[in-house]
Amino acid sequence: MKYLFFVFFCFLLLAGCDSKRVFEDYSKFKNRAWLVNDPAVFQFEIKDASKKYNLYYNVRNSLEYPWQRIFIQYQLADSSGTFLSTKLVSNYLFEKSGKPLGRSGLGDVYDNQFLLLENYSFSNAGLYRMELEQLNRQDTLAGILAVGIRVETAQ
């Protein structure tokens, strides 16, 4: 019986694996707020430059967030510091009615994922750096608990 339980448990673990994910991480903010002078910086490794990748940014927000949209500037750089891509993006966290978008987590927390780069080709294998900076017109974005990035192989 113990053996059967162990096999079942291992099957569940393997079934839950995310085979496309190359990197995913979050930067959490104190006091449930993102300060303008506190960019989120992530470093990840690309091992196979022959593949194409999708890059996303993730936002974990609460109902405290006072606006409908969020403005983020991202910068992708290689290990030498050369910028490969930089852009200001805007995405909706709430509908006009005030209903939150994204997947609901615990209580008033919602997770959103937005595509930044689709079928992106890295020129070389190696270390890369992604920086996310909030560019709303407020120094402090209340209700932003964390931001993150996800890098996955494109299908």
Query: Would you say residue 12 lies in a domain?
Result: no
- Give me the pLDDT at residue 113, please: 98
Specify if 5 maps to a domain.
Answer: no
User: Which residues make beta-bridge pairs with 152?
Assistant: 21, 54
How many structural domains is the chain composed of?
1
pLDDT for 7: 41
Residue 131 included in any domain = yes
Residue 6 pLDDT more than 80? no
Spatial contact of 144 and 65, defined as CB atoms under 8 Å apart: yes
- For residue 136, tell me if it sits in a domain: yes
123 CB contacts (<8 Å, ≥6 apart)?
49, 78
Give the pLDDT confidence score for residue 9 in this predicted structure.
46
Pairing mode, strands 33-35 and 140-142: antiparallel
pTM, two decimal places: 0.85
User: Is residue 98 in a domain?
Assistant: yes
Residue reference for tokens 């593949």: 51
CATH of the domain at 62: 2.60.120.380
In the predicted model, what is the mean pLDDT of residues 135-149? 95
- The pLDDT assigned to 10 comes to 41
Residue 96: give the domain boundaries: 21-153
Residue-level pLDDT at 31: 92
pLDDT digits (tens, 9 = 90+) for 61-115: 999 999 999 999 999 999 999 999 999 999 999 999 999 999 987 789 999 999 9
Q: What is the pLDDT of residue 73?
A: 97
Q: Is residue 14 situated within a structural domain?
A: no
- Residue 22 pLDDT > 70, yes or no? yes
CA 83 from chain centre, in angstroms, equals: 19
Considering the domain boundaries, does residue 75 fall inside one?
yes
pLDDT tens, position by position, 27-68: 999 999 999 999 999 999 999 999 999 999 999 999 999 999
Query: Which candidate, 101, 86, 107, places its Cα nearest to that of 32?
Result: 107
Is 13 among the domain residues?
no
In the chain, pLDDT over 90 holds for what percent of residues?
82
